Chains A and B, each alone.
Chain A
Amino acid sequence: MSTRRGFLKCMGWAGTGIAWTVMGGIPRAVNLGGDAEAAASGFSFVQISDSHIGFKGEVNPDPRGTLQVALDKIAALPNKPAMMIHTGDVTHLSKAEEFDTAQRIIQGAKLDTHFIPGEHDVIGDDGKQFFDRFGDKGRTGMGWYSWDQEGVHFVALVNVYGFAPATGATLGKDQLEWLEGDLKGKSASTPIVILAHIPLWSIYPQWGWVTSDADQAFAYLKPFGSVTVLNGHIHQVVQKVEGKVTFQTAMSTAFPQPKAGEAPNPGPMKVPADQLKSVLGIRDIEVVPPASPKLSDQTLA
């Protein structure tokens, strides 16, 4: 009985006062009434990646069709997403007609969409066609940008330039300097979502699944209590949690790739036609700032 009374007493205190909570990875005092209401709002967004419009390989002769299936899946989500992100390789060969087709299909989703390029989107013209269609108005340098949405700071990075023989992807000095400035002054409890096409952690350097100078970016991100890194490029979900940083790659909407080192090369992985949709997918991300985003990967099956 005394335990129960103590508990009720405590409840009473908590109900009218303040409590410590961990949100965005940072312990802080909150006014339960006010913040509970704020926390109840929140929003969701979706990620698609690697639509490879123009791909004609045996595993999926119709990447336009599977992109449409992905968008239909998004339209059927119980919570309407506030926006969509595409983490690169919109096209397969950077051809004008591929960009046009992709743009037409994606616009059909009628969602505010933020794009970053993959290496397949910048072949031959350093991304001119890509940025003409999908470039963010606020972009700087070689296309990177950031924006704030409902308490979350989004940073869209570009790591598909500056490839040199036998080196992996890089962010480059200019972009890293910009990132340092971009994060300055942001509260440590602001959830940060980083977008980049090629993984920002070393998954398998032998296949180029690495960004060689990403460590510097994470040095700038160290003060933040919640950092979510959304990548594409490897056409499968791989997750790593390191301290307050969650890394997660996404499925493609076009074709799967083998697991690291489990094939002679990272080329398209063949699967029976009736199993294709079970290895393609979308990602739904629920955000209730200042808590860390919740990621939910769903296949197209």
Chain B
Amino acid sequence: MNTIHRRALPLAAMMLVFGFAAYAAEPDSVTISNFAFSPAILSVSSGTKVTWTNKDEEPHTVTSADAGKTFKSDALDTDDSFSFTFDKPGVYKYFCSIHPHMTGTIVVK
């Protein structure tokens, strides 16, 4: 019993830590993988810094779809990241300027 107890505690602690980490990382990041933005629609609260990370071997960009290009990354090579802080509520559509069929949306509340 004692052994099981000792094993169970660190495991529970680890699960808790990883659980929180996953929870904390998820709401403000977008993964670019397999020629898609994931999640395709991300809701965040105003003032949130959103980070996109490219996990593909092909480069991608994060380019705001509005005429004024509210946000626009350089070419993101494999494992490169781009961040933008959304200060105003609204619906922000974006795409990859190299592969325009890749689209995503950030909803800022």
Q: Is the CB of A93 within 8 A of B59?
A: yes
**Is there an interface contact between A166 and B61, defined as CB atoms closer than 8 Å?**
no
A278 interface hit (Cβ, 8 Å): no
Chain A neighbourhood of B75, CB < 8 A: 92-95, 120, 123-124
CB contacts under 8 Å to B, within A102-155, are: 119-120, 123-124
Contact stretch, chosen from A67-75, A263-271, A282-290 = A263-271
Q: Is A206 an interface residue (CB 8 A)?
A: yes
Q: Given the complex, which residues of A lie within 8 Å of B59, measured CB to CB?
A: 92-93, 120, 123
State which of A94, A119, A265 has its C-beta within 8 Å of the C-beta of B34: A265
The answer to whether A165 and B58 have CB atoms under 8 Å apart is no
Closest B residue, CB atoms, query A169: B100
Main secondary structure of the interface of B (DSSP, over half): loop
Distance of B92 from chain A, by nearest CB (Å) = 12
Please determine whether A208 and B100 come into contact, CB atoms closer than 8 angstroms.
Answer: yes
Contact A267 B103 (CB under 8 A): no
B26 within 8 A of partner (CB): no
A168 to B77, alpha carbons, bound, how many Å? 22
Asked if residues B100 and A123 are in contact (CB atoms below 8 Å), the reply is no
Does B97 lie within 8 Å of A166, measured CB to CB?
no
CB neighbours (8 Å) of A123 from chain B are 59, 61, 74-75, 97-98
Given contacts A57-B57, A267-B58, contact A124 B74 (CB under 8 A): yes
Number of A-B contacts (CB under 8 A): 67
Q: A58-B57, A265-B35, A268-B58 are in contact. Are A167 and B100 (CB under 8 A)?
A: yes
Contact among B35, B57, B97 for A163, CB-based, below 8 A: B97
Smallest CB-CB separation from B98: which chain A residue? A119
**Chain A, interface SS category:** loop
Interface residue from A58, A95, A166, A264 paired with B100 (Cβ < 8 Å): A166
Q: Is the CB of A268 within 8 A of B98?
A: no
**A95 CA to B76 CA, complexed, in Å:** 12
Complex alpha-carbon distance, A290 and B6, angstroms: 87
The reply on B107 being an interface residue by CB < 8 A is no
Q: Which residue from A93, A165, A266, A267 sits with its C-beta under 8 Å from B93?
A: A165
Does residue B7 face the partner (Cβ distance < 8 Å to A)? no
Name the B residues within 8 Å of A208 (CB-CB): 99-101
Q: Give chain B residues whose Cβ lies under 8 Å from the Cβ of A268.
A: 57-58
Of all A-B residue pairs in the complex, the 4 with the closest CB atoms, nearest first, are A165-B95, A265-B35, A163-B100, A93-B75
User: Which B residues fall within an 8 A CB radius of A?
Assistant: 34-35, 56-59, 61, 65, 72, 74-75, 77-78, 93-95, 97-101, 103
Which residues of A approach B to under 8 Å, CB–CB?
A: 56-58, 92-95, 119-120, 123-124, 163-168, 206-208, 264-268
28 contacts between A and B (CB under 8 A): A56-B77, A56-B78, A57-B57, A57-B78, A58-B57, A92-B77, A119-B97, A119-B98, A120-B59, A120-B75, A123-B59, A123-B74, A123-B75, A123-B98, A124-B75, A164-B95, A164-B100, A165-B95, A165-B103, A166-B101, A167-B100, A208-B100, A264-B34, A265-B58, A266-B58, A267-B58, A268-B57, A268-B58
